[in-house]
Structure 1
C-alpha cells in the first residue's frame, strides 16, 4: 500500500513541477524585452523555425524586415519580393501555422488576442503584429536611452 502512495506522490510531484515550469516560462515571456535580442532570436522564441520546405524562419525574417525597411504592409509587393528572393507565400503560411500549433509562451503573449481562435492569424496580421511588436519595443528602448 505504501508503494501505491509513493508512486502517486511521485506522479503528483512531477505534474506540479511541470506546471510550475510552464508558469515560469510564461512569466519569462512576459518579462522579456524583444529589443534585447535580434529579430531572428525573437522569431525563434515565437516558435518560427523550419518548415517542410525548410526555410520558414528565413522567409518570415525576410518578410518582417522587408515590410519594416520599405514601410509597407504585407500584400502583393511583399509576395513579389518573396518570390524574387527565392521564398514563397506558402513558406510564410506554413511557418505561421506551425508557430500557432506550438504556441510558445512568447507566441501566447504576442498573439494572445487570437488565443480563443483555433485558426492562426492571416499572413498580413501575422507579419504586421510581429513587426509592430518587435520594432515598437526597440523604439521604446531608444527613447529611454536618449533621455
Structure 2
C-alpha cells in the first residue's frame, strides 16, 4: 500500500481516511465511541485528541496509531513499500462488516483481516484437496446476473 497520502495535520489524516472509506463523521464517531461534534473538532484542528483517543480512531480507521499521530510512520503495521503490489479494494459494506467484527470481538481491524484471510486460505486448500482427490478441479462460482 502506498503512503502517498496527505502528510498534513492529524485532523487532515483522519478526514482523508474517513472520506476514503465513504464514512460520515457520525459513523466514525459511533465506531470510536464519541460525539460527532468532538470528531469534527479533531478534524478541523480545534482540539487535539488524547493518545488513547488517537489509538481508538486509528483502530477504527485501520491505520497505525503512529501514522495517524505524525504522518511519518507506515500507514499500517504490515505495510511493505512495493509499488508493484496488487491490491483489492474493499467495498464500504465489506469495511463496515470488518469493523463490526473488530468491535464485537475486541480485536484490531488488522487482526480481524488476518483471521479472515487464514480462514479463506484454509477453505481454499480444503476445496483444492477435495478436488484433487475426486479428479475434478473446482471452478469459481458463477455470479448471478440480475438485470
Q: Which has the higher helix share?
A: 1
TM-score > 0.5, shorter chain as reference: no
Higher relative contact order (CA 8 A, sep 6+): 1
TM range (shorter): under 0.3
